[in-house]
Amino acid sequence: MQKPQQPIEFALKETSPKIGAGAATGDKLSCTYDLVEQMQYLYVRVVKAKDLPGKDITGSCDPYVEVKLGNYKGVTKHFEKTSKPEWNQVFAFSKERIQASVLEVVLKDHDVVLDDFMGRIMFELNDIPKRVPPDSPLAPQWYRLEDRKGDKVKGELMLAVWMGTQADEAFPDAWHSDAATVGTERVALIRSKVYLSPKLWYVRVNVIEAQDLVPSDKTRYPEVFVKAILGNQALRTRTSQIKGINPMWNEDLLFVVAEPFEEHLILTVEDRVGSNKDEILGKCVIPLHNIQRRLDHKPVNTRWFNLEKHTIVEGEQKKETKFASRIHLRLCLDGGYHVLDESTHYSSDLRPTAKQLWKSSIGVLELGVISAHGLMPMKTKDGRGTTDAYCVAKYGQKWVRTRTIVDSFIPKWNEQYIWEVFDPCTVLTIGVFDNGHIHGGEKDSRIGKVRIRLSTLETDRVYTHSYPLLVLHHPSGVKKMGEIQLAVRFSCSSLINMLYIYSHPLLPKMHYIHPLSVIQLDSLRHQAMQIVSMRLNRAEPPLRKEVVEYMLDVDSHMWSMRRSKANFFRIMGVLSGLIAVGKWFDSICHWKNPLTTVLIHILFIILVLYPELILPTIFLYLFFIGIWNYRWRARHPPHMDTRLSHADVLHPDELDEEFDTFPTSKPSDTVRMRYDRLRSIAGRVQTVVGDMATQGERFQSLLSWRDPRATTLFVTFCFIAAIVLYVTPFQVIALLIGLYVLRHPRFRHKLPSVPLNFFRRLPARSDSML
């Protein structure tokens, strides 16, 4: 089956940016940022001032500094009543936007009506030195203030002025001229930042038994269960089969927790006294830092914990009933598992939680976020569309966020990042977002996402491509929001170690020694995603919850008719190879190409006479197929495919269903229509599953004597076949069967064969179903 071509506008495009990697730039001061285009900046560091004259009636001043370059002006904060202010603030002016030849640094006194001029310092741009890391930072110097006529006045200002690139360590925290419209209180929201995901652990709570419980009603046997609460996670055991004051469970409860541990594990033993009424028989609070950490499958020691009676309110006073109840637990922090916080199909990290179990890295991944173009307006400001775009990249535990380019449909970031790689079968995810908070918005809007699987990259090759940013919109469907230009390089430190990784299991060994159920993994993954999004949302600047959830594909498990269709056709694509082989073999059997059929006869006879050649022939054939397909290997990383995703032929109602909330918020008529549609689809699936069960039951009935005549025929055939095969060489039998299958159409008839007729007449259990 030939893969359908994607529309040109949604296809990947190879680009040739002016980057240092793989090219001689001629610039001897070229920085280590070799996957991005160099961007020149004029940096001004305003450190402090001294000996400032008093301007107010009280003889003090409220100084601040203005840094002017053409139409751009950066302002420091002002200090109240001091002659020795310290700012230590950096301003960065993009060289490509500079339209002046003189830099002016003005010191002013903040006043209620009109700010007073205190002095200034002028710099000719041609005289400013150039500095590129790894040079040490330029040392600031004291400059005497001048008045507007150029005469020296009282007061000095400590400054450092230099020309640099985005590789400068001052770049991330600097005020940028292209963000001059952003208020001072929101500047932190547009800066670039590196985040680390919190370290996640599985907490295993093995509830064994409880002793000496004291129920309030002594006339009945208590129905006891244990409820465990950790943060916003709550689990409970089944009701104990032993109805009494010494119940037993021996049941495991699993939670996800992040370092540093902020919550306590709270266990309550409860008695079901009514249909919706539970009585707390005891409670214990366990700090997580007291729980033993386990790196392998060896069981940890059990412990008894005393249960405290829940408090009873009498008026405004609370008292505790003292008693000797206790609970038997086995607690541990499982460090041998990898806590899944991403979809398993495109995980970026597969290492266990415990750092002691980590293997050494096999290489590094470098990403250059160069630019974007053709972005769509995401919001309206002053009556016109605008976009404030930034990128987020996630690989392993490290998240990176570029700075926000304010009010631009063609933003240029030119920022480069690096990650250690521990497994090549992982995925790098890059998302583009519109910063909705710098102008008082509530959410950051998604613009698009790119995934790059490292195993599809050649080592030490720089991939420079423009990736279309595709999103599903309701109700318009798939939409191209622009393109992002990236440069990616995967460098391998040891080819042998990387190839050796392919023989290792994908997940840590604890996942196979003590496997978790699919339901457990799905629930734990959801909890891990919530913890990661909550922790990153508390950073400064925050990585918003909607951004983290989009990067982690929180809703990937939700039902979608589109995804179901796409997965069905993916299965058909996998089976298409077998179908093609079946059609080819059928054409051989029917002699549609006599020459090919004769050659197959000759090959078949050779393999029957020399069976030791069968396996070598198969592997040699696979080798030649692989070599032949090398010519058509992919020259670029795979990208989002609208045809594969069935996003280009999406029915409006199916799209509306995909964007529906859970539980649904649609009216009853819509829900009834979708339910009926789902029932019709499920009916067809049910029929296919029933047919498969029927064929399997027919095989079982061969020897079950459910049809005595059919089983008699089959047993008799087996006895005769055994005698014939004992006395006849295997090559002769195989040769006769093969020649019979490959016989000429003149010796065939259109009716089904005898074995097939016999098999179809065998009974199944379908006639016993209601």
Q: Give the mean pLDDT of 434-454.
A: 89
Residue 68: what residue type? K
Q: State whether 326 and 283 are in the same domain.
A: yes
**What confidence category does residue 28 fall into, taking pLDDT thresholds of 50, 70 and 90?**
very low
Helix (H, G, I), strand (E, B) or coil at 47: strand
Please say if the pLDDT value at position 360 is more than 80. Answer: yes
Q: Phi and psi at residue 279, in whole multiples of 5°?
A: -110, 130
Between 17-31, 108-122, 136-150, the lowest mean confidence (pLDDT) is in 17-31
Whether 313 shows a pLDDT value over 90: the answer reads no
Weakest-pLDDT range from 212-216, 358-362, 496-500: 212-216
Same domain for 507 and 367: yes
Q: Chain-centre distance of CA 447, in angstroms?
A: 16
Q: What is the pLDDT of residues 462-517, one digit of tens each?
A: 999 999 999 988 888 889 999 999 999 999 988 898 999 999 999 999 999 999 99
Within a domain: 569: no
Burial label for 582, CB within 10 Å (0-12, 13-18, 19+), is: exposed
Question: Is residue 386 situated within a structural domain?
Answer: yes
Q: What value does the mean pLDDT take over residues 181-208? A: 88
What are 536-577's pLDDT values in tens digits?
999 888 899 999 999 998 887 788 888 888 888 889 888 888
533 and 605 share one domain: no
Same domain? For 182 and 285 the reply is: no
pLDDT band of residue 3 (cuts 50, 70, 90) is low
Tell me if 570 is assigned to some domain. no
Report the chain's mean pLDDT, rounded to a whole number: 87
Contact 117, 149 (CB under 8 A): no
The answer to whether 350 and 506 have CB atoms below 8 angstroms apart is yes
Specify whether the CB–CB gap between 591 and 721 falls below 8 A: no
In this structure, the answer to whether residues 167 and 212 fall within a common structural domain is no
* pLDDT of 420 above 90: yes
**Domain match, 208 and 300 both:** yes
Best CA proximity match to 202, nearest among 558, 594, 524 = 524
Of 557, 591, 606, the residue that ends a domain is 557
**Range of 653's domain?**
578-760
From CA 235, how far away is CA 226, in angstroms rounded?
9
**Predicted confidence band of residue 8 (pLDDT cuts 50, 70, 90):** confident
Provide the whole-model pTM: 0.85
pLDDT for 153 beyond 50: yes
Q: Using a pLDDT cut of 90, give the percent of the chain over it.
A: 45
The answer to whether 212 and 458 have CB atoms below 8 angstroms apart is no
| Average pLDDT of span 297-304 | 91
**Beta-strand relationship, 445-453 and 293-294:** unpaired
Residue 30: is its pLDDT beyond 80?
no
Residues 348 and 213 sit within 8 Å (Cβ to Cβ) = no
Q: How many helices (H) and strands (E) does the chain have?
A: 12, 32
Does residue 319 register a pLDDT over 70? no
351 vs 505: CA distance, rounded Å: 11
Which of 334, 369, 403 is the endpoint of a domain? 334
Average pLDDT over residues 369-377: 94
Please check whether residues 133 and 169 belong to one and the same domain.
Answer: yes
DSSP 3-state assignment of 304? Answer: strand
Provide the percentage of residues in the chain whose pLDDT is more than 70: 95
- Please name which of 555, 559, 531 lies closest in space to residue 545, comparing C-alpha atoms: 531
Q: Are residues 114 and 229 in the same domain?
A: no
Other beta carbons within 10 Å of 306 = 11
DSSP line for 350-394: ---SSGGGPPPP-EEEEEEEEEEESPPP-EEETTEEE--EEEEEE
- Grade residue 26 by pLDDT with cuts at 50, 70 and 90: very low
Mean pLDDT in residue range 721-727? 90
* Residues β-bridged to residue 306: 326
Nearest partner of 226 among 308, 327, 331, 299, judged by Cα = 327
State the pLDDT at residue 138.
86
Residue 571 maps to a domain:
no
Residues 546 and 490 in one domain: yes
Q: Is residue 678 pLDDT above 60, yes or no?
A: yes
Indicate if the pLDDT at residue 321 is higher than 60.
no
Nearest to 232 by CA among 577, 596, 533, 554: 533
The total of structural domains in the chain comes to 4
Contacts of 622 (CB under 8 A, 6+ apart): none
Residue 197 and residue 534 in contact, taking contact as beta carbons nearer than 8 Å: no
CA 730 – CA 736 distance, rounded (Å): 10
Distance in angstroms (rounded) separating the CA atoms of residues 303 and 206: 11
Answer yes or no: is 636 within a domain: yes
pLDDT tens-place string over residues 43-96 = 999 999 988 887 666 667 889 999 999 888 889 888 888 888 899 999 999 888
Categorize the per-residue pLDDT at 34 as very low, low, confident or very high, splitting at 50, 70 and 90: confident
Contact call for residues 76 and 46 (beta carbons, < 8 A) = yes
682 within domain boundaries: yes
**Amino acid 310: pLDDT:** 58
- The answer to whether residue 340 is domain-embedded is no
- Which residue among 334, 363, 383 closes a domain? 334
Q: How confident is the model at residue 7 (pLDDT cuts 50, 70, 90)?
A: confident
Whether residue 7 is contained in a domain is answered as no
Whether 311 shows a pLDDT value over 60: the answer reads: no
**pLDDT tier, 31 (very low <50, low <70, confident <90, very high otherwise):** very low
CA-angle at 247, arms to 242 and 253, nearest 5°: 110
**80 and 184: one domain?**
yes
749 and 632 within one domain: yes
- Cβ proximity of 267 and 286 under 8 Å: yes
CA dihedral of 616, 622, 628, 630, whole degrees rounded to 10:
-120
CATH of the domain at 46: 2.60.40.150
Asked if the peptide bond before residue 260 counts as cis, ω within 30 degrees of 0, the response is yes
Judged against a pLDDT cut of 50, whether residue 317 lies above it is answered with no
59/207 same-domain check? no
CA distance 440 to 24: 45
Sign of CA dihedral 643, 649, 653, 659: positive
